[in-house]
Chains A and B, each alone.
Chain A
């Protein structure tokens, strides 16, 4: 009896601890969120989006160049990653059992786990070293490499959600394999794939490490691809480790913008995926 009571108590204690660990993990989430919103909101103004950075010591100014820089960088990354990711995702879902598919799945997962700073070194050696100067192009390439595995796996997963009967129907009507893939399967999964791409964009727009020595940074307005370019994340980094109060303020504002974009896309992706799952289940 005594032993059973002890077992029961132990069981309840562990159940309680498991619940407590969920609560414990949510503490930093709210803590981070709270500070980013609090500090960021009071520092965020119209100037942040439209003005250029002011010289050291002068208050005010914004991050217009860094925002445009980040947009250019993720545009370049998309050009690199979307074709490769999308088409290799199609391959994975069309020939799931082939040896190449197994290898691609494995390396995509591995690539996903490689530290972003290492990808940065790779892009540096590939793009910066030959021409001996930092460039927006190098940053875009680095971010693109990071996007490829995410897009590949999302495309595969979402194509697998589409009922195989659709493909079989198309093939039975005499369509070629590629026609079935591109005009039947892909459109059916497209809304999900698009959100997957948006999420990967949001994720890489928060990356800093691979940009430090590829796109570098730039205090001035620049949209030239062969020149160093400012980015929101590197700017936040520079401002955060600077000794200036006004720069700290702007770093928080930048963090708020970043976090909002990432969260918005995460929620959006969730809604779309849920809807797609429901749609294809029936």
Chain B
């Protein structure tokens, strides 16, 4: 009688699990490695400036003075404006595609909106420099004089500046927010809407019910877009004007964290300068890490909630009607 193949198979299976697991663990190790290396390379700047790095506004590489507040401001302000523009549009798209669109339009429209995410950042930047910025300049020139006295619209109409950056960012993050929000709405059980309709709700009221049911996931989708906006580099660098100043003016050229790294990294001649730039990168990493983790958690919690009560539906005779 042949010997049972079992022990050998078991060994091989274990080897397979360990072997593939090793490669899988590399992915985790990579993220940990990024965190460690960024911290190691920015120690010089952290030790020298401490928390003042994030509180002061003077960025003078020649004098060896580095304050990153204007970059933080630029990143937060541009991302905030981009979210303000993109969120209603992205949610509108998600609602239209998941609740309203005729079936034959759904796939092609979803594909087209997702193509927005496939356009490389550098192409958005090129388009921004030669098409959007002149357009924005014209718009700024047309701004009436009384409006120009408001702090929001002060400054010369240059075209390059916060407004162009916010617009281009908004376009770039719309596909991310809308596709995740669509997934979330898809995961909302049909019974929620059916119940609303049965109570005499209009379409919009039924949509509100669905939105409320999936609100944590929708918030997750918006936050995901925020993460994208904060880390976006090339397109913003090319249109924001790269001038470190803290102002609420939409017309003023400003600067972001990602843009200063992109522009000055190869010029950083001394160790302290380089270390300061890497510290900005470290914070960029930390912010996007937190934002992504938060957004994943929110989206995941909706899917979990939906999955739990799902089997119940089959036992309800009313559900059959749908």
Contacts and interface: CB of A to CB of B under 8 A. Distances in A.
Contacts, number: 267
Interface in A65-117: 83-84, 87-88, 90-92, 94-95, 100-101, 103-104, 106-111, 113-117
Interface string A166-191: 00000000101110010000000000
B24 A208 contact: no
A229 to B, nearest CB: 15
B24 A118 contact: no
Given A113-B224, A113-B228, A255-B126, A18 B93 contact: yes
Interface in A12-40: 14-15, 17-22, 24-26, 28-29, 31-32, 35-36, 39
B24 A121 contact: no
A103 B28 contact: yes
Which of B9, B118, B125, B203 has the most chain A CB within a 10 Å cutoff? Answer: B118
Nearest to B285: A118
B127 interface: yes
A205 B111 CA distance: 21
Interface stretch (A3-11, A47-55, A56-64, A218-226): A3-11
A95 to B, nearest CB: 7
Interface in B108-127: 109, 111-113, 115-116, 118-127
Interface residues of B, number: 87
Contacts of A129: 41
Nearest to B121: A208
Contacts of A20: 92
A32 B119 contact: yes
Contacts of B111: 270
Contacts of A28: 116, 171
Interface in B94-152: 95-97, 100, 109, 111-113, 115-116, 118-127, 129-131
Given A15-B203, A176-B9, A208-B120, A122 B93 contact: no
A181 B16 CA distance: 10
Contacts of B174: 25
28 contacts: A7-B205, A14-B203, A17-B92, A25-B116, A28-B171, A29-B113, A31-B127, A88-B27, A91-B20, A104-B27, A106-B296, A107-B27, A107-B31, A111-B30, A111-B31, A114-B231, A117-B284, A121-B41, A125-B37, A178-B12, A206-B119, A209-B258, A212-B262, A233-B122, A237-B234, A240-B122, A240-B129, A248-B130
The 3 closest A-B pairs by CB, nearest first: A115-B231, A206-B120, A21-B92
Interface of A: 7-8, 10-11, 14-15, 17-22, 24-26, 28-29, 31-32, 35-36, 39, 83-84, 87-88, 90-92, 94-95, 100-101, 103-104, 106-111, 113-119, 121-122, 124-126, 129, 145, 148-149, 152, 174, 176-178, 181, 202-203, 206-209, 212-213, 216, 233, 236-237, 240-241, 248, 251-252, 255, 258-259, 262-263, 266, 270
